[in-house]
Amino acid sequence: MNTLLRAVKIVDKHSPWNGQVRDVLLQGGRIVRIGEALDADGAEIREGKGWCVSPGWMDMRIASRDPGYEHEEDLDSVRRVAARGGFTEIMLLPNSKPVVDAKDTLNYVRQPRPGQPVRVHVAAAVTRKAEGVDFTEMIDLHHAGAVAFTDGEVPIQNADILLKALLYLRPLDSLLINRPEDRQLTLFGQMNEGITSTLLGLKGMPALGEEMMLSRDLKLLAYATEKVGPVNQGNDENSGRNALPQLHVSLVSTARAVSLIREAKAQGLPVSCDVAAHQLAYDDSALMNFDTNLKVNPPFRSPADIAALREGLADGTIDIFVSDHSPHAEENKNVEFDQADFGITALETAFSLALMHSGLTIEDIVEKITANPRRILRLPHVIISENQPANLTIFSPDEEWTFDKSLSKSRNSPFLGSKLPGRVIGVVNEDAQLWGT
């Protein structure tokens, strides 16, 4: 199918056409021409007021429910939800049943779905069953296609496991991802520890639980880096960066955590980090009505923490926005607050929330959901230029839309019924397209 995107603004810092309004002609899954008043030549014309086109968005933190929990989300529904949210590539965490800790499960999750525009990448588990005890066959999983290693929703508590994982993965030039949480300090915690948790009578999850574990991880990274020498500098001249991170810190949420990562980067440690877009939307006072759809981990923190997250995004300390898409069946959310599971369905709203609450420009937001996650995961760079594969997201940043219905199998979102900025028009990934999502 030939498609002509008429008069779209190109949003791609690495493209020679960045910031320009141009026609973009797609043919055979590639960008064949970029220019003004191009002849459609029988192509299907797509146009609209204020439309933008960027490299296809990527989300690198999505809870995998298939296999094992297909009633909450399966591999087809997560692709539909991702496309509606504007994502052409996603990375699934290994926390399915069985856990992605062996090649057969990895191959099942990675299998392509012809005709669908969303490509799935998979992070394999560091330890068997993500239990933090015995290592998986990480070399075999790496060669089988795992793009990173993490125990996903289960933070690695054992320092020796994390250190050895860093050392094992270095020769493979593969990434270790960990969410910093000392589970002894957050045991039975329901929300951020503070005035609101005291007023509600709920066990708090102190910021200290994140910050102590992060400090440990960064010290172990420094030790591993000293032991094995200089890090891989990468060879992607378009990335605009040099050293590739070896440790990726997922879901930072506190002011001190941002400071620790800023200091580590200034010291030259190979570290990167992300924040969930919804983390900017609420502080812990929003939980006064016990809405279980606001129960997330890490929890919504204080206004001072949110201000620090925005500062970290602005100065580049925080590299990536993620959705932290975590679908749950109704019976796991429509219960007493202390019995409810953590997490929200977030793929469809991540871009809108980043646009609404981050204070960043459109270009900077796009950078944090396109070039940065691909660089960190060592995936091919995507650029809007002639004779390049068509991996694109088309969106209207100034257009409001109502999130009145989710395409997810689960409905645990506090944003259902909300009016949000930044409507996704469609996605294109080579020969596959989806419009009006």
Residue 218 is part of a domain; what is its CATH number? 3.20.20.140
Same domain, 154 and 38: no
Q: 230 pLDDT exceeds 60?
A: no
Same domain, 307 and 398: no
- Please tell me the distance from the alpha carbon of residue 400 to that of residue 424, in angstroms, as a whole number: 10
Same domain, 31 and 76: no
Catalytic site includes residue 236 = no
Q: In terms of residue numbers, what domain contains 44?
A: 3-51+390-435
Domain termination site, one of 383, 404, 426? 383
The type of residue at 437 is T
The CATH number that applies at residue 428 is: 2.30.40.10
Same domain, 15 and 133: no
**Backbone phi and psi for residue 78, each to the nearest 5 degrees, phi listed first:** -70, -30
Q: 431 pLDDT exceeds 70?
A: yes
Same domain, 264 and 347: yes
Share of the chain above pLDDT 70, in %: 96
Residues 91 and 79: beta-carbon distance below 8 Å:
no
Residues 163 and 126: beta-carbon distance below 8 Å:
no
Same domain, 258 and 303: yes
Q: What is the pLDDT of residues 374-390, one digit of tens each?
A: 999 999 999 999 999 99
Residues 175 and 148: beta-carbon distance below 8 Å:
yes
Residues 223 and 217: beta-carbon distance below 8 Å:
no
Same domain, 225 and 358: yes
Identify the pLDDT of residue 237: 42
CA nearest to 365, candidates 403, 314, 399, 300: 314
Tokens representing residue 235 in the block: 């060879």
The type of residue at 143 is H
How many domains does the structure of the chain reveal?
Answer: 2
CA nearest to 168, candidates 246, 271, 79: 246
Which residues 6+ apart lie within 8 Å of 114 measured at CB? none
Same domain, 185 and 210: yes
- Please tell me the distance from the alpha carbon of residue 384 to that of residue 222, in angstroms, as a whole number: 37
Identify the pLDDT of residue 40: 83
Which residues 6+ apart lie within 8 Å of 197 measured at CB? 190, 191, 203, 204, 284
Domain termination site, one of 339, 358, 383? 383
Mean residue pLDDT of the chain comes to 95
Identify the pLDDT of residue 229: 62
Q: 240 pLDDT exceeds 90?
A: no
CA nearest to 436, candidates 89, 34, 154, 84: 84
- Please tell me the distance from the alpha carbon of residue 17 to that of residue 11, in angstroms, as a whole number: 8
Looking up tokens 């937001």, which residue turns up? Answer: 365
- Please tell me the distance from the alpha carbon of residue 125 to that of residue 111, in angstroms, as a whole number: 18
Identify the pLDDT of residue 35: 97
Same domain, 203 and 352: yes
- Please tell me the distance from the alpha carbon of residue 109 to that of residue 66, in angstroms, as a whole number: 8
Same domain, 274 and 342: yes
Q: What is the pLDDT of residues 9-53, one digit of tens each?
A: 999 999 999 999 999 999 999 999 999 999 988 899 999 999 999
Q: What is the pLDDT of residues 100-155, one digit of tens each?
A: 999 999 999 999 888 899 999 999 999 999 999 999 999 999 999 999 999 999 99
Which residues 6+ apart lie within 8 Å of 152 measured at CB? 63, 64, 93, 94, 95, 123, 125, 130
Same domain, 18 and 131: no
Catalytic residue among 324, 341, 364, 404: 324
Full-model pTM = 0.95
